[in-house]
Chains A and B, each alone.
Chain A
């Protein structure tokens, strides 16, 4: 007979040991959600960036486990502006439900996670959005052979939609406003909802246009599917920070403007060094820190802009690298000079 008494005490010993192993991690706890976010990030030496747990083109780990994507490049740009090094950033994957508490509690410093800028999030949740890096909107995808050319023709249709997000509500609001009857097929998981649409269980599939484009481009024959021109909601996506440290929010805001302005001035990852030395345009000289003191005003080195663009490229390059492979067009996200909405205030 094996006495279990010693086993019990042994198990307790193991338990105590495990506790000893994990406790140091409490001591290594992250900084406070203090008002001085900038100071906290500086003293820690790395930026903690909340990203999506996995969204094609915006934020997902590749086969090597390295984070890639549009929002991820923004995190790298923020880190470069702060520390001059795109690698001094830690990516914390956050789910749709956990993202806001993660930012509120200080688990992450900045959330770059395709989050829609809304009034309530800006005010009652206590956040500051620092710009719109992607103008998205909810749209519909149908099979090309359905013969539908506009969302208004979807009366009586069956529409696949994912629950929980604003997507479902937008759809209901829009249908009521336009007096359209539809039957929703609500499916939680992306792969299953797409599968249902492809299998013909619904006539149309609705989500943000960026998501539709990504799904469409992944199909064997993308031309069999058509994204309808109607966009039924505004989804301005952008990075956000906690309220309470305007200097940190300013820096995040101007990193975005820098990326947009760099594209406008034709400054790319390849030519930024050269432009910093030779470009004669006064605003470019100020922006790249050759003249003036703009960097110091933001609380960083004057050559921050050169380092950021060298690390991640300008807005157009980031878009091209991450979103163009999904088949996304610039659309609203073209520069204002090209009929889009991306516009940066002057660097002076």
Chain B
């Protein structure tokens, strides 16, 4: 297509200057293709050339170093608990054996070993749920039964106690399922809460407005860690005797409340960005408040705030790792616990790379998806 355009342009150019009929010439090889790109972008002046060369040198050195450390000199497995081979290469080679040996603990924590297929299936179900929910084809009522069934199955798989599955108490759950549960439930609950709070903050009713402002400001005024401490340390002491809410649920509620406050402000940003005419037009059509909000305002407002929304989502996905301070074995805590054993002390980098890679996969997927979504939903705005 580009070729045709060029040819057409060239032909018109030729047509305009009669008498100079000659075959279209190719530009010099140094101005096109890869070489041309290099010249224009990386070596356009001697300073740029120097910077390019220095950076290239550093990158190559780093890549060589990483390949040597991570692949060539690495120890991939050792006999159980015998870390001598790893200690010998410490500093020059990675000890992936720690991941080989402990990967099931890092992924599933203290969940009973022979039942690990259950949390594994739960992770697969969560990912499946994300994929299905991300497809626009499913953006209709079918999502309700899909979520209902999937979450029920996840609950059954994790707790067990029915269909011949042994019961697994919550404090034995750990690893990736905990991270996914906290993130999924946290955001699934926080998002509707955030929309209500954002609408409430713009409400004409002083009581509702005051409550929403108070909620947002109170929650935003304290760090997540102190909320988690509150939920795990103080809250049980206030409960009447005999009532003891599950630790994971307490942390989950703290995360929902926290995420809700932040998301509410993001959504409010979208609401404020809408021109007043939209509100007035909706009212002129005789729509009720909820019709106006649901059909006119929110679809436009939420579309505007996709980038900050995803930003907050990604932030909270990683913030779930803070539950380590209240003794819940999420992915990161399980990774840290795996290297406490004296035999494996000192191989933290390998475990952190492994855990970091898992976090990266999820966050990158979220980020990539949001880019597509944004492009698709904002197609009408592009000129």
Contact check, B189 vs A18: say whether CB atoms are below 8 A apart. yes
Q: Which residues of A contact B (CB under 8 A)?
A: 1-8, 10-15, 17-18, 21-22, 25-26, 28-34, 53-57, 60-67, 90-95, 97-98, 101-102, 104-107, 191, 194, 214-215, 217-218, 220, 325-326
Contact check, B326 vs A17: say whether CB atoms are below 8 A apart. no
List residues of chain B with CB within 8 A of the CB of A33: 241
Bound Cα distance A55, B328 (Å)? 15
List residues of chain A with CB within 8 A of the CB of B109: 61, 65
* Contact (A13, B144) CB under 8 Å given A22-B252, A97-B229, A220-B87: yes
Interface residues of B in 313-333 (CB under 8 A from A): 324-329, 333
The 8 Å CB contact of A101, one of B236, B246, B295, B329, is B236
13 A-B pairs besides A218-B345, A220-B87 with CB distance below 8 A are: A5-B299, A6-B141, A7-B139, A10-B144, A17-B151, A54-B336, A54-B337, A55-B340, A61-B109, A62-B105, A63-B80, A92-B327, A93-B328
List residues of chain A with CB within 8 A of the CB of B252: 22
Interface residues of B in 200-256 (CB under 8 A from A): 229, 232-234, 236-237, 239, 241-247, 249, 252
Quick check: is B36 within 8 A (CB to CB) of the other chain? no
List residues of chain B with CB within 8 A of the CB of A91: 110, 171
* Contact (A17, B148) CB under 8 Å given A63-B105, A218-B346: yes
List residues of chain A with CB within 8 A of the CB of B104: 63-65
The 8 Å CB contact of A325, one of B144, B147, B336, B342, is B342
Quick check: is B294 within 8 A (CB to CB) of the other chain? yes
List residues of chain B with CB within 8 A of the CB of A56: 340-342, 345
Q: Which residue of A lies closest to B233 (CB)?
A: A101
Bound Cα distance A60, B110 (Å)? 10
Contact check, A32 vs B188: say whether CB atoms are below 8 A apart. no
A339: shortest Cβ distance to chain B, in Å?
A: 27
Quick check: is B192 within 8 A (CB to CB) of the other chain? yes
Q: Which residues of B contact A (CB under 8 A)?
A: 80, 87, 90, 101-102, 104-105, 108-113, 136, 139-141, 143-144, 147-148, 151-152, 155, 169-172, 174, 185, 188-189, 191-192, 195, 229, 232-234, 236-237, 239, 241-247, 249, 252, 290-291, 293-295, 298-299, 302, 324-329, 333, 336-343, 345-346, 348, 377
18 contacts between A and B (CB under 8 A): A4-B302, A10-B141, A10-B143, A14-B144, A14-B147, A15-B188, A18-B151, A31-B242, A32-B241, A53-B329, A61-B337, A65-B104, A65-B109, A92-B247, A94-B327, A98-B229, A194-B345, A217-B342
The 8 closest A-B pairs by CB, nearest first: A5-B294, A105-B236, A32-B242, A218-B342, A65-B110, A54-B337, A4-B299, A64-B113
A4: shortest Cβ distance to chain B, in Å?
A: 4
List residues of chain B with CB within 8 A of the CB of A57: 342
List residues of chain B with CB within 8 A of the CB of A220: 87, 90
Contact check, B327 vs A65: say whether CB atoms are below 8 A apart. no
Contact check, B105 vs A64: say whether CB atoms are below 8 A apart. yes
List residues of chain A with CB within 8 A of the CB of B346: 191, 218
